[in-house]
Chains A and B, each alone.
Chain A
Amino acid sequence: MNARHAAPLAAAAALLALPFGLTDFWIFIAVEVLAFALYAVSFNVLLGYCGMLSFGHAAFFGVGGYTAALVVKQSGLPPALAFACLPLAAMFVSAAAALIIGFFSVRRTGIYFAMLTFAFQMLLYAIALKATPLTGGDDGLTGLKPPGLLAQPLAYYFFALSITGASLYVLHRVVTSPFGYVLRALRTNALRVQYLGIDVRAHRLAAFMLSGAFAGLAGAIFALSNGNVFPGWLNWTASATPVVMAVLGGTASFLGPALGAAGYVVLEVLISGRTEYWSLAMGVIIVILVLVMPEGLTGVWRKGIIRGGACATPLPTREAR
């Protein structure tokens, strides 16, 4: 074992031991962290690697959540079987949504891409609100719960941990694969990528679908823990969440957004328990953090501690602005 593996192993050990020191409430929060960590990392596959700012990523988190809820409540399958199908179903439906949304959106870049993803997400929000027989309308879908033993917070934590862990492994393999190299190249110079003989739009669409599928999986994990899915999951404010998490953690590193998600969720819990003006306080804190650490938490980490040669993983470095 070398230094390369030390940090991930230590993190894995800490995550395995973590829930034994926590109350049920904090285990519930830890599950939320895991779900949003996956959500933020999958989002950052687009922002950090491809340079595509999706401002409608809640579409996939929400579609994943609703898919999970519908599979559990409406499929008529025995609870255990429905639950077993749920991760793949959520990924499949979100990927299909990403195929349709991406087909139109990845033709554009920059602000136009952001606006297109935003518009499609608002379309889904409207559907969630109005298609009451399917989605429960304003009330959402409630009373979801995992079957049997998994309904216990501790067991569900380990379920969420294994799903998130496996997903992050897959995503890391992808971003360090030849396909991932192409994405990194795309971020800075799509024209050159075209002139390498690569179909830029097709690769962007594939990245978009991959990102959407895992965002959907994150939504499904959270839906079952939360017990409810609401149309608000698809509202535009929900699309800002992964953006803030990714920027907070650092878009230039693979796990940065996961750290950002942990910080965001825990901060939100701590502050909302103390003041009704919690969103104001969150806003102020985030503004300060971003000003102090323009490259996010992981930017501070890389600069201060492992500068020079010992960087744990080959990260897509980004020039400081």
Chain B
Amino acid sequence: MSNPILQVQSLVKSFGGLVALGGVDLTVEAGEFRAIIGPNGAGKSTFFNTMTGLLRPDSGRVTFEDRDITGEPPHRVVRRGVARTFQITSVFPELSALENVQVALLAHARRSWSMWSRARALGADRAHELLALVGLDGSAANPAGTLAHGDQKRLELAIALAGEPRLLFLDEPTAGMAAQERLEAIRLVHRIAGELGLSCVFTEHDMAVVFAVATRITVMHQGRVLAEGTPAEVRARPEVQQVYLGEAA
């Protein structure tokens, strides 16, 4: 364990007087499937937004594959090989599922400035492959906004994968799903990540989901890391049970 893909050192972010991140450290090894858990308001989303460039940290350092990416805007971070999905599903509702993935593919191929070529057929084969990978090929022609919630989540995953990331951030990948759907959804991500050799960092509220797939768990509480370890280790920590597991059950 000495090949970290992501290293975060004492990341601090505050909004006015409210300290959202009070010096967070995180090290993710390549190939990990890391869960970040914590009660609402623990700072998980702020942590994601700060690591991926949407928010500028007040201090601290984010290193991806030995490169300092602290404070880089999202599009730069993404181009380095990072992708992310959002708690509130983020697709292009008016474009078809296929076009959603095509846009992601052309962005990845640095074709977004191409103003004269035809976009319709661009990357269509690869886009179909990606839709098939997440089990959505049957809905390729449907506008993304008309897909069921779970299908939109899978579409967002296909969009993220189109960028051939090496590190994938998933902000509550099972938010808004029914209990049985959640396990299925996270297993899909887990399987694909395994096949592609992706490292993943995800936040999640459902403990069944977390313990089903996480290789390690980081517990956040009030903008700090409360505990970290394997699922068994974390489960055994009394302060974790007190702060989070107890109240979530």
Instruction: Collect the chain B residues with CB atoms within 8 Å of residue A182's CB.
Output: 103, 106-107, 112
Q: Are B103 and A196 in contact (CB under 8 A)?
A: yes
Interface residues of B in 86-125 (CB under 8 A from A): 86, 90-95, 99, 102-104, 106-108, 111-120, 122
Roughly how many angstroms separate A49 CA and B162 CA in the complex, as a whole number? 23
Query: Does any Cβ of A come within 8 Å of B163's Cβ?
Result: yes
Q: Nearest 7 CB-CB pairs, A to B?
A: A196-B107, A197-B78, A197-B79, A178-B106, A178-B114, A179-B115, A178-B111
Query: Does any Cβ of B come within 8 Å of A195's Cβ?
Result: yes
Interface-central residue, B73, B76, B113, by most chain A CB under 10 Å: B113
Interface residues of B in 58-92 (CB under 8 A from A): 73-76, 78-79, 83-84, 86, 90-92
Residues of A within 8 A of B (CB): 173-174, 176-182, 184-185, 187-189, 191-200, 203, 206, 314, 316-319
Query: Does any Cβ of A come within 8 Å of B143's Cβ?
Result: yes
23 pairs, CB–CB < 8 Å, chain A vs chain B: A177-B115, A177-B119, A178-B106, A178-B111, A181-B103, A182-B103, A184-B92, A185-B95, A189-B93, A191-B90, A192-B159, A193-B103, A194-B54, A194-B73, A194-B75, A195-B74, A195-B84, A196-B75, A196-B103, A196-B162, A196-B163, A198-B112, A317-B143
Q: How many B residues touch A, CB cutoff 8 Å?
A: 40
Q: Are B116 and A173 in contact (CB under 8 A)?
A: yes
Q: Are B113 and A179 in contact (CB under 8 A)?
A: yes
Instruction: Collect the chain A residues with CB atoms within 8 Å of residue B104's CB.
Output: 196
Cβ of B11 to closest chain A Cβ, rounded Å: 19
Roughly how many angstroms separate A317 CA and B92 CA in the complex, as a whole number? 12
Instruction: Collect the chain A residues with CB atoms within 8 Å of residue B176's CB.
Output: none
Instruction: Collect the chain A residues with CB atoms within 8 Å of residue B118's CB.
Output: 176-177
Roughly how many angstroms separate A174 CA and B163 CA in the complex, as a whole number? 23
Instruction: Collect the chain A residues with CB atoms within 8 Å of residue B92's CB.
Output: 184-185, 188-189, 192
Instruction: Collect the chain B residues with CB atoms within 8 Å of residue A317's CB.
Output: 94, 143
Roughly how many angstroms separate A317 CA and B122 CA in the complex, as a whole number? 20
Q: Are B159 and A188 in contact (CB under 8 A)?
A: no
Instruction: Collect the chain B residues with CB atoms within 8 Å of residue A180's CB.
Output: 115, 119
Roughly how many angstroms separate A191 CA and B74 CA in the complex, as a whole number? 9
Q: Are A198 and B75 in contact (CB under 8 A)?
A: yes
Instruction: Collect the chain A residues with CB atoms within 8 Å of residue B75's CB.
Output: 194-200
Chain A's closest residue to B93 (CB) is A188
Roughly how many angstroms separate A172 CA and B81 CA in the complex, as a whole number? 33
Other CB < 8 Å A-B pairs besides A177-B115, A198-B112, 14 of them? A173-B115, A178-B119, A181-B99, A181-B106, A187-B94, A188-B93, A189-B90, A193-B107, A194-B54, A195-B74, A196-B159, A196-B163, A197-B79, A317-B143
Query: Interface code B114-153, partner A: CB below 8 Å = 1, 0 otherwise?
Result: 1111111010000000000000000000010100000000
Cβ of A167 to closest chain B Cβ, rounded Å: 14
Chain B's closest residue to A186 (CB) is B92
Roughly how many angstroms separate A206 CA and B104 CA in the complex, as a whole number? 19
Instruction: Collect the chain B residues with CB atoms within 8 Å of residue A189's CB.
Output: 90-93
Instruction: Collect the chain A residues with CB atoms within 8 Å of residue B79's CB.
Output: 197
Instruction: Collect the chain B residues with CB atoms within 8 Å of residue A176's CB.
Output: 118-120
Instruction: Collect the chain A residues with CB atoms within 8 Å of residue B143's CB.
Output: 317
Instruction: Collect the chain A residues with CB atoms within 8 Å of residue B91's CB.
Output: 189, 192
Instruction: Collect the chain B residues with CB atoms within 8 Å of residue A192's CB.
Output: 86, 90-92, 159
Cβ of B168 to closest chain A Cβ, rounded Å: 11
Roughly how many angstroms separate A206 CA and B115 CA in the complex, as a whole number? 11
Instruction: Collect the chain A residues with CB atoms within 8 Å of residue B117's CB.
Output: 177-178
Roughly how many angstroms separate A116 CA and B208 CA in the complex, as a whole number? 50
Interface-central residue, A176, A178, A194, A316, by most chain B CB under 10 Å: A178
